[in-house]
Amino acid sequence: MSCFSLVVTTSPIDNKTNTALAFANELVQQGHTINGIFFYQDGVLSANKYVQAPSDEINLLTAWADFNKHTSTPLHLCITAGERRGLTDSDDEQLNHNIHAAFTISGLGELVVLTSAADKVVQL
């Protein structure tokens, strides 16, 4: 079996993000390992704990958090891309910490580590 690193660059309203989650689930079901999922560019918006999904759509934040919980696959959030899109981990009273706890705040260096340790890298 192979070790994968996934890079999610699409926003949570893009169908490709749902495809990324389905792909990750399928990899695990087939016995592959995922050493980490790196959320970059608009993909970081998947970590915003204040985004609400319509009742007739999948809540990708909850789905990613459940995936993390059941597989222990790290969900890495590029903090630079996140800050550019209004995400913050600050505890400052004027800012609001809005990153879901399932996500680990990371930088591009973590992406290098993940991809160099993987047999295959897939960007969605």
Residue type present at position 27: L
Residue 114 structure tokens: 């993940």
Give the active site residue among 6, 47, 78, 111.
78
Annotated active-site residue 3? The verdict is no
Q: How far apart are the C-alpha atoms of 116 and 51, rounded to whole Å?
A: 32
Write down how long the chain is.
Answer: 124
Distance separating alpha carbons of residues 67 and 25, to the nearest angstrom:
8
Task: Give the catalytic positions in this structure.
Answer: 78
